[in-house]
Amino acid sequence: MDIPLDIQHQAMGYDRTATMFSPQGHLLQVEYAEKTVRLGSSSVGMVCSDGVFIIADLRVEDKLIIPQSANKIYEIDSHIIASVAGIVSDARVLIERAQVLAQQNRVTYDSPIEPELIIKDISNVKQQATQYGGARPFGVSLMIAGINNKKPELYTSDVTGNYLAYHANAIGENDEKIKEALREKYKPDLTIKKGIKLVFDILKELEEKKFNLSRFEVCYIENDKEVKRLYGNELQEFVK
């Protein structure tokens, strides 16, 4: 009887460290971390004609929890926000590093940092965790949205340390289904309000009866303006 390939890998120890390649050229611990990310709550980001936004599922079911204490969108600087999918405690380390980097740039150069410099630094740290022994990979994908010289930008860094720029993207649960819908419906001339409504329409279609507006938070940055954050009832206008 043929033994499944993943069982063979486990038996031969190829999944015991992030630094060991399997005969098929895979880093199994990294692939396991990618599966962890897909179990995390979803976040969707979009570049619009008047700015950029991120919508995140807080996935807070317990009524005793204050939703704002479980937020998934973080302010890196007054012009940059970030969202995560996966192990949030892993992400916190990277978010705090990004915040310090943004502060250092303002002190050193008296100017706001470019969003790409943030995502590049975070991606370098994540890549190191896949190359050196003694540490497991960061089990988190990170989405960065910001304004760079009045131009909205969106980046996503995966578990391996790769990063790319996007017009619109999704991470976490149902990411492929959301991206498929975005490929069909996204248009560069969408405003922030229309873009947010589009994303909620996609999420309502995917989640059907499970859709609950109180689970979501929205952060957006209009060109040359500060971060705005919306919760619960404040989102009603986008689902009419």
Can you say how many angstroms the Cα of residue 190 is from the centroid of all Cα atoms in its chain? 21
pLDDT of residue 6: 60
Kindly state the greatest CA–CA separation across the chain: 66
C-alpha–C-alpha distance, residues 39 and 190, integer Å: 30
Strands across the sheet containing 151-157: 73-77, 80-86, 140-148, 151-157, 163-165
Residue 48 backbone phi and psi in degrees, to 5: -120, 175
pLDDT of residue 41: 92
C-alpha–C-alpha distance, residues 106 and 196, integer Å: 31
Encode pLDDT of 114-143 as tens digits: 999 999 999 999 999 888 777 888 999 999
Encode pLDDT of 56-66 as tens digits: 998 877 778 87
CA angle, residues 172, 94, 80, in degrees to nearest 5: 80
C-alpha distances in angstroms, 88 versus 141, 142, 240?
A: 10, 10, 32
pLDDT of residue 181: 97
C-alpha distances in angstroms, 236 versus 210, 213, 216?
A: 17, 8, 11
Low-confidence ranges of the chain (pLDDT < 70): 1-15, 18, 240
Contact 36, 137 (CB under 8 A): no
pLDDT of residue 3: 47
3-state secondary structure of 38: helix
- pTM exceeds 0.75 for this model: yes
C-alpha–C-alpha distance, residues 12 and 106, integer Å: 50
Here the tokens at position 201 are: 């329409």
Q: How many residues does the chain have?
A: 240
C-alpha–C-alpha distance, residues 22 and 8, integer Å: 10
C-alpha–C-alpha distance, residues 148 and 152, integer Å: 6
Residue 203: left (phi > 0), alpha (psi -120 to 50), or beta?
alpha
Q: Domains in the chain, please, with CATH?
A: 28-234 (3.60.20.10)
Can you say how many angstroms the Cα of residue 16 is from the centroid of all Cα atoms in its chain? 27
C-alpha–C-alpha distance, residues 111 and 2, integer Å: 61
Can you say how many angstroms the Cα of residue 76 is from the centroid of all Cα atoms in its chain? 13
Contact 87, 45 (CB under 8 A): no
